């Protein structure tokens, strides 16, 4: 079964002072690193949602399928809706969703969360103390519900919460780090 990858990278990075997609990371942009993680995990296709300074990001990278979210300023929900809409014509039965600002994400975590991908699957990575995070697996049968619930910066959170025990919790702390990059001092510590 085909599992797509969806990378949400449209934000302006208000607290950071610039879009996170444009951060340098190990000789390339952070957005390239994040897209490569999804590709290395076997996701197909990999769709990247851009918004803030999208022209600059596109000019500096060779991303796979790119979707432009003109409503990026309204929050992550609009990017999730744009990405899921772009995937409706794909053969994917499910999608693994992640965020651009997680440099410690690994292909192993993506594969683990996406392991039982079916059209009705839901899974969420967990980290220390059971904290839920990314990546998140959304089976195709849930895309319409997620799209309806994704508003503001909420993404799929409310939809997943409403599904209760149908959501498979996948421990990933042993194979990935869920630390995100939100502040200038965090970005300064990234290996450029």
Number of domains the chain is built from: 1
Q: What digits encode the pLDDT tens for the residues 17-35?
A: 889 999 998 999 999 999 9
Reported as a single tens digit per residue, the pLDDT across 63-99 is 878 999 999 999 999 999 999 999 999 999 999 999 9
Tens digit of each residue's pLDDT (9 = 90 or more) over 51-64: 999 999 999 998 87
Query: Nearest Cα to 94, choosing from 48, 44, 153, 27?
Result: 44
Q: 187 near 181, Cβ under 8 Å?
A: yes
pLDDT over 70, % of the chain: 97
* Strand spans (E) along 79-121: 94-99
Cβ atoms < 10 Å from Cβ of 154: 15
- For residue 34, give its domain range: 3-188
Nearest to 92 by CA among 68, 112, 118: 118
| Residue 189: per-residue pLDDT | 79
Q: What is the CATH number of the domain that holds 16?
A: 3.90.550.10
User: What six digits make up the tokens of 52?
Assistant: 């803030």
């Amino acid at each position: 079964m085909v599992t797509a990858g969806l990378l949400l990278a449209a934000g302006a990075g208000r607290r950071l002072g610039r879009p996170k997609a444009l951060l340098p990371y190990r000789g390339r942009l952070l957005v390239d690193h994040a897209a490569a993680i999804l590709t290395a995990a076997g996701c197909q296709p990999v769709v990247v949602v851009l918004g803030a300074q999208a022209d600059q990001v596109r000019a500096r990278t060779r991303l796979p399928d790119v979707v432009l979210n003109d409503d990026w300023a309204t929050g992550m929900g609009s990017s999730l809706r744009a990405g899921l809409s772009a995937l409706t014509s794909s053969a994917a039965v499910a999608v693994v969703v992640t965020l651009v600002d997680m440099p410690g994400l690994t292909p192993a975590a993506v594969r683990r969360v996406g392991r039982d991908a079916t059209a009705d699957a839901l899974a969420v990575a967990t980290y220390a103390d059971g904290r839920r995070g990314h990546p998140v697996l959304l089976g195709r049968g849930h895309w319409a519900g997620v799209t309806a619930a994704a508003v503001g910066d909420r993404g799929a959170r409310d939809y997943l919460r409403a599904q209760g025990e149908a959501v498979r919790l996948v421990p990933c702390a042993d194979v990935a780090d869920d630390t995100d990059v939100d502040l200038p001092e965090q970005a300064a510590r990234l290996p450029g």
